[in-house]
Each structure stands twice: as C-alpha cells, then as structure tokens.
Amino acid sequence: MSRFLSSRLSRLGTYVPGEQPQDRQYIKLNTNESPYPPAPLTEEKVREALWQLHLYPDPDCRALTKALAEYNAVLPEQILCANGSDDILSYIFLAFGDAKRGFSFPDITYGFYQVYGDFYSVPYRKIPLREDFSLAPEDYFALDSGIILANPNAQTGLALELKQIAAIAEKNPDQLVVVDEAYVDFGGESAAALLPEYDNILVVRTFSKSRSLAGGRLGYAIAGKELIVDLNTVKYSINPYNVNRMTQAAGIAALQEDGYYVDCCKRIMSTRESTKKALQALGMEVTDSKANFLLAHHASIEGEALYRSLKERGILVRHFKDQRIRDWIRISIGTEKQMARLVAEIGAILE
C-alpha cells in the first residue's frame, strides 16, 4: 500500500473473488458462472449498442426496467438496475445502514455482506446456522437490525421456503429484510411474491448466474417504490451511469430469450442432481443444494487438500477458510462432461 492510503482503509479486508489463474486451461468450477454462453440474440443487440458508445447510457435504464417490470409483474417504479447485484448490495448498506442501524446475516453466507459492513462502518451480527447448515427462522424473529438473507444461501445452497421468509418479515415489521436471490432460478422460490403483503422486503437479483451474463455485470432490486427511491438517492450520488449500453442491451435480449435460459437452468439442475448422486456414491457428504453449486466433503481428506489436488489436475473449485466449512469444497455446476471429469478425478484422488 502507498503512504497515501487512508488509515481507515489500510485496516480493512476486501472481498476475495474466486481465482482466475492464467497459467493453464482449467475446468472452472469455482465462481458459480453458467457453463453455457448467452443466447443468440445477445450478440446482435450488443452489436447495435456498440455504435452508440459515444453517447452516455440511459441512467434510468428505462427500456430494461420496463422489461424487468413486465417479467416480474411489478411496476417499473419498483425496479432499480445496477452494475451487478454487488452494486445493489453496496447501495443497500449505504442507503439503509449507519452506525446505529446495522444488519444481521448468517455466519455462513455470501462474504460481501461482511466486507460492505466493515467498509461502510455499518455494524453487523452473524447468526450461526444450525449444525446441519439450515437456517432457523426463529433466530431472526424480532431483531433490532436489518436482515440480509441469501436464498438459496451462498456456500450451502440450502433454501428457505417462502412462508419462512414471510414469517421473518412479519416478526420484523420495522426492519428491512433483504433477500438476495442470486441462485433463485435453480430451485428456489422468489420472495417477490411477498412484496404486495410486506413493504419491508427488498429482493436482489442478478443476471450473473442463471442468465449467463456474469461478464456483463447486471443486477437489480425489486421492492416497494419508496425503497427504490432511496436506492436511487445513492445511485445518483455515486454513478448514475452504472449500467453501460452493451449490458442494458444484453439484459433486454436475455429477457426476450427467456426460454433459452430456463432450459439452461433445467440442465444445470439436472446435472447438479446427477453429480450429487455420483459424489455420494464416492462417500461424500453433499448439501441439499437448490443453487448452481454443491457443497461437499469427504471424511478422509481435508477441504484444502482436495481443492489443491483438483487444481493440480486442472479443475478449479472453491475452498473457504471459514472454520465451519473449511473441510468442504464448493463445486459450481458445469456441463455434464465437465462434471464427469470432476467425479472421475475426485474418485482417483480418494483412492
């Protein structure tokens, strides 16, 4: 670090993204991207947008917002687009957190919640998941902070039922309940259905996982109009042009070719289930994931050792150092072929 870095920043940890080594070709199963490319129309729409790159994008993303509103059966005033859902999460901490009003979230979940809490000096409390990694809704009843839940949850893949989220919103009428639905298209139920009943729910979505657009950076919020106004206050104080022209075009194209992505998600879910069975047959314990990844471990090998052996064999998976999951690895679901290779390599490593 330079001698100019603020003392506040020099003390903070940052989010650590999954590695992207360039030394050789890997089967990349470490960042929960889709193994399938964007649908055909994307190229044409993005190409059209290229010829308007001399002009700023629409800061309100009106065409995309309208399409998203129709897709989700809400009003355009209930949608806000941003540069990935990380951007939305950052706005949430800025808009609704301060030194007095913090957030609670599970001890095992998406790592960025903690990073934003530290970065924006918003206090947070980590509520331990149960022994089996499931979340006890009662632990979130009548809290004195906002709540952030990834559903399905990051790292574990376990999903809450809508009635459990409704119960949490019900028991915290004066707190914001953020539901991060990065993985909802792989078998979860969207809390967007609860919005008419609960004005304290804010849903966060991304095109990165189920819409094959991780490289495009597109996320959005769905909530009551007032919450969206608040998020816009942050957006218009930082960078109103947060979604570039090509990405707005790609997002609209993705909604037009929804069937393609629904098929991709079905394939990924079916590959997930077959991979899960194959790993169990090797003696691994695997969580009941409703996401595009599996969390797995084997009693005879440490998580880090398994991660390293797989990397040596050309397969990248994710290993986390958090105490409770340090003996597990998180495996993104790739193509059938990639997963067959993964299972074969794990089998060979365990022998």
Ligand X SMILES: *Cc1c(COP(=O)(O)O)cnc(C)c1O
Q: Smallest distance from the beta carbon of 51 to ligand X, in angstroms?
A: 27
DSSP letters spanning 237-295: HH-TT-S-HHHHHHHHHHHHTHHHHHHHHHHHHHHHHHHHHHHHHTT-EE----SSEEE
Helix (H) or strand (E) holding 118: helix 112-119
Residue from 150, 254, 265, 316 touching ligand X (CB under 6 A): that is: 150
Half-sphere exposure of 312 (CA within 13 A, CB side): 10
Burial label for 322, CB within 10 Å (0-12, 13-18, 19+), is exposed
The CA angle 125-16-33, to the nearest 5 degrees, is 105
Residue (110 or 198) nearer to ligand X, CB: 110
Q: Smallest distance from the beta carbon of 87 to ligand X, in angstroms?
A: 7
Q: Which of residues 110-149 bind ligand X (CB under 6 A)?
A: 110
* Residues near ligand X (CB under 6 A), total: 13
Q: Is 213 left (phi over 0), alpha (psi -120 to 50) or beta?
A: alpha
Residue from 35, 76, 84, 251 touching ligand X (CB under 6 A): that is: 84
- 232-236 long-range contacts, CB within 8 A, separation 24+: 232/80, 233/95, 234/91, 234/94, 234/95, 235/80, 235/82, 235/91, 236/59
Peptide bond into 240 cis (omega under 30): no
Q: Smallest distance from the beta carbon of 204 to ligand X, in angstroms?
A: 7
Residues 6+ apart with CB under 8 A from 200: 169, 172, 173, 174, 175, 176, 177
Does 157 interact with ligand X (rule: CB under 6 A)?
no
Angstrom distances, CA of residue 34 to CA of 41, 68, 113, 213, 334? 17, 21, 23, 8, 7
Among 22-30, 59-67, 81-89, 133-141, which window interacts with ligand X (CB under 6 A)? 81-89
Tokens of 134: 């499931």
Residue from 154, 221, 222, 294 touching ligand X (CB under 6 A): that is: 154
Residue from 30, 42, 78, 85 touching ligand X (CB under 6 A): that is: 85
The mark string for 97-116 relative to ligand X (x by CB under 6 A, - otherwise) is -------------x------
Residue (32 or 175) nearer to ligand X, CB: 32
Q: Which of residues 26-65 bind ligand X (CB under 6 A)?
A: 32
Q: Which of residues 223-262 bind ligand X (CB under 6 A)?
A: none
Q: Smallest distance from the beta carbon of 294 to ligand X, in angstroms?
A: 14
**CB nearest ligand X: which residue?**
84
Among 59-67, 71-79, 84-92, 339-347, which window interacts with ligand X (CB under 6 A)? 84-92
Residue (214 or 255) nearer to ligand X, CB: 214
Burial label for 339, CB within 10 Å (0-12, 13-18, 19+), is buried
Among 82-90, 130-138, 239-247, 321-329, which window interacts with ligand X (CB under 6 A)? 82-90
Q: Which of residues 161-220 bind ligand X (CB under 6 A)?
A: 180, 182, 206, 208, 214, 219
Q: Which of residues 283-322 bind ligand X (CB under 6 A)?
A: none
Interface residues with ligand X (CB under 6 A) are 32, 84-86, 110, 150, 154, 180, 182, 206, 208, 214, 219
